[in-house]
Amino acid sequence: MFNIALYQPDIPQNTAAIIRLCACFGATLEIIEPCGFQLNDKRLKKVAMDYLNKSKIINHNSYEKFLINKKSSRIILMTTKAKKNYTSFKFKKKDTLLFGRESAGVPKIVHNNSHQRLKIPLKKNARSLNIAMAVGITLAEALRQN
Protein backbone atom coordinates (compact mmCIF):
# COMPACT_ATOMS: atom_id res chain seq x y z
CA MET A 1 0.00 0.00 0.00
CA PHE A 2 1.01 3.64 -0.23
CA ASN A 3 3.31 5.42 2.17
CA ILE A 4 2.78 9.05 3.14
CA ALA A 5 5.94 10.88 4.19
CA LEU A 6 6.04 14.23 5.98
CA TYR A 7 9.24 16.23 5.74
CA GLN A 8 9.91 17.91 9.10
CA PRO A 9 6.27 18.73 9.89
CA ASP A 10 5.55 21.94 11.83
CA ILE A 11 1.99 21.65 13.06
CA PRO A 12 0.93 18.78 15.35
CA GLN A 13 -2.77 19.07 14.51
CA ASN A 14 -2.07 18.62 10.78
CA THR A 15 0.12 15.60 11.47
CA ALA A 16 -2.62 14.17 13.69
CA ALA A 17 -5.23 14.59 10.94
CA ILE A 18 -2.87 12.79 8.56
CA ILE A 19 -2.40 9.99 11.11
CA ARG A 20 -6.19 9.50 11.12
CA LEU A 21 -6.32 9.59 7.33
CA CYS A 22 -3.56 6.98 7.03
CA ALA A 23 -5.24 4.73 9.61
CA CYS A 24 -8.56 4.90 7.77
CA PHE A 25 -7.07 4.05 4.37
CA GLY A 26 -4.31 1.64 5.34
CA ALA A 27 -1.37 3.87 4.43
CA THR A 28 1.86 3.92 6.40
CA LEU A 29 2.92 7.34 7.70
CA GLU A 30 6.61 8.20 7.67
CA ILE A 31 7.80 11.22 9.61
CA ILE A 32 11.15 12.73 8.66
CA GLU A 33 12.59 14.53 11.67
CA PRO A 34 13.27 16.98 13.13
CA CYS A 35 9.66 18.01 13.72
CA GLY A 36 8.51 21.41 14.91
CA PHE A 37 6.89 19.66 17.90
CA GLN A 38 7.36 16.61 20.12
CA LEU A 39 5.67 13.44 18.87
CA ASN A 40 4.00 13.07 22.27
CA ASP A 41 2.49 16.59 22.00
CA LYS A 42 -0.99 16.72 23.59
CA ARG A 43 -2.33 18.66 20.55
CA LEU A 44 -1.34 15.74 18.33
CA LYS A 45 -2.93 13.21 20.67
CA LYS A 46 -6.14 15.24 20.94
CA VAL A 47 -6.75 15.30 17.17
CA ALA A 48 -5.39 11.81 16.41
CA MET A 49 -7.49 10.31 19.22
CA ASP A 50 -7.35 6.50 19.25
CA TYR A 51 -6.07 6.42 15.66
CA LEU A 52 -2.52 6.64 17.02
CA ASN A 53 -2.91 3.00 18.09
CA LYS A 54 -4.39 2.01 14.71
CA SER A 55 -1.68 3.62 12.56
CA LYS A 56 1.62 2.37 11.27
CA ILE A 57 4.08 5.21 11.84
CA ILE A 58 7.77 5.11 10.97
CA ASN A 59 10.11 7.82 12.24
CA HIS A 60 13.27 8.71 10.36
CA ASN A 61 15.88 10.65 12.35
CA SER A 62 17.00 12.48 9.22
CA TYR A 63 16.28 12.91 5.54
CA GLU A 64 19.42 10.91 4.74
CA LYS A 65 18.13 7.90 6.72
CA PHE A 66 14.77 8.24 4.97
CA LEU A 67 16.54 8.03 1.57
CA ILE A 68 18.48 4.94 2.63
CA ASN A 69 15.18 3.21 3.47
CA LYS A 70 13.64 4.29 0.16
CA LYS A 71 16.23 2.88 -2.25
CA SER A 72 13.67 0.56 -3.86
CA SER A 73 10.71 2.99 -3.80
CA ARG A 74 9.63 5.86 -5.96
CA ILE A 75 9.44 9.10 -4.00
CA ILE A 76 6.72 11.34 -5.37
CA LEU A 77 7.04 14.92 -4.10
CA MET A 78 3.86 16.93 -3.91
CA THR A 79 4.76 20.59 -4.35
CA THR A 80 3.23 23.84 -5.54
CA LYS A 81 6.42 24.31 -7.59
CA ALA A 82 5.74 21.35 -9.90
CA LYS A 83 4.54 21.68 -13.49
CA LYS A 84 2.80 18.29 -13.78
CA ASN A 85 -0.67 17.72 -12.30
CA TYR A 86 -1.18 14.77 -9.97
CA THR A 87 -4.10 13.49 -12.09
CA SER A 88 -1.85 12.93 -15.12
CA PHE A 89 0.55 10.67 -13.21
CA LYS A 90 0.25 6.88 -12.81
CA PHE A 91 0.71 6.02 -9.13
CA LYS A 92 2.00 2.59 -8.09
CA LYS A 93 1.08 0.85 -4.83
CA LYS A 94 4.59 1.00 -3.38
CA ASP A 95 5.02 4.76 -4.02
CA THR A 96 5.92 7.10 -1.20
CA LEU A 97 3.99 10.36 -1.42
CA LEU A 98 6.17 13.06 0.14
CA PHE A 99 4.81 16.34 1.50
CA GLY A 100 6.89 19.30 2.65
CA ARG A 101 6.98 21.38 5.76
CA GLU A 102 3.93 23.59 6.23
CA SER A 103 6.05 26.72 6.76
CA ALA A 104 8.76 26.21 4.16
CA GLY A 105 8.16 23.24 1.85
CA VAL A 106 11.32 21.24 1.15
CA PRO A 107 14.89 22.20 0.20
CA LYS A 108 16.26 21.77 -3.31
CA ILE A 109 18.01 18.49 -2.42
CA VAL A 110 14.61 16.91 -1.73
CA HIS A 111 13.32 18.11 -5.10
CA ASN A 112 16.41 16.64 -6.77
CA ASN A 113 16.03 13.24 -5.04
CA SER A 114 12.39 12.80 -5.99
CA HIS A 115 11.30 10.45 -8.77
CA GLN A 116 8.55 12.89 -9.76
CA ARG A 117 7.26 16.30 -8.64
CA LEU A 118 3.51 16.82 -8.85
CA LYS A 119 1.03 19.54 -7.99
CA ILE A 120 -2.64 19.85 -7.21
CA PRO A 121 -3.88 22.63 -9.52
CA LEU A 122 -5.37 25.61 -7.69
CA LYS A 123 -7.05 28.87 -8.69
CA LYS A 124 -4.67 31.65 -9.74
CA ASN A 125 -4.87 33.60 -6.47
CA ALA A 126 -4.63 30.54 -4.19
CA ARG A 127 -1.24 29.89 -2.61
CA SER A 128 -1.59 26.39 -1.19
CA LEU A 129 -3.86 23.88 0.55
CA ASN A 130 -3.68 22.71 4.12
CA ILE A 131 -1.27 19.77 4.11
CA ALA A 132 -3.84 17.32 5.47
CA MET A 133 -6.20 18.28 2.61
CA ALA A 134 -3.39 17.84 0.07
CA VAL A 135 -2.55 14.41 1.49
CA GLY A 136 -6.22 13.40 1.34
CA ILE A 137 -6.66 14.55 -2.25
CA THR A 138 -3.46 12.86 -3.45
CA LEU A 139 -4.02 9.61 -1.56
CA ALA A 140 -7.60 9.41 -2.88
CA GLU A 141 -6.34 9.66 -6.48
CA ALA A 142 -3.59 7.11 -5.90
CA LEU A 143 -6.08 4.69 -4.35
CA ARG A 144 -8.60 5.30 -7.14
CA GLN A 145 -5.99 4.41 -9.76
CA ASN A 146 -5.04 1.21 -7.96
C-alpha distances in Å from residue 116, one per residue of 70, 78, 79: 14, 9, 10
Nearest-angstrom CA–CA distance, 114 and 39 = 26
CA–CA gap between residue 62 and residue 132 (Å, rounded): 22
pTM of the model: 0.94
Q: What is the mean pLDDT of residues 85-97?
A: 97
- Considering the chain, what is the average pLDDT of its residues? 93
Burial letters for 75-94: b for 16+ Cβ neighbours within 10 Å, e otherwise? bbbbbeebeeebeebebeee
Q: Is residue 135 predicted with pLDDT exceeding 80?
A: yes
Supply φ then ψ for residue 77, to 5 degrees: -90, 125
Q: Contact 43/12 with Cβ under 8 angstroms?
A: yes
* 45-86 residue pLDDT tens: 777 677 778 889 999 999 999 999 999 899 999 999 999 999
pLDDT for residue 114: 97
CA–CA separation, 117 and 111 (whole Å): 7
**Higher model confidence: residue 43 or residue 93?**
93
DSSP string, 66-101: HHHHTTTS-EEEE-TT-SEEGGGS---TT-EEEE-B
Query: What percentage of the chain has pLDDT greater than the value 70?
Result: 99
Question: What is the arithmetic mean of pLDDT over 98-119?
Answer: 95
- Return the pLDDT at 1: 84
Q: Can you tell me the distance from the alpha carbon of 123 to that of 50, in angstroms, rounded to the nearest whole number?
A: 36
What kind of architecture, by CATH, is found in domain 3-145? 3-Layer(aba) Sandwich (3.40)
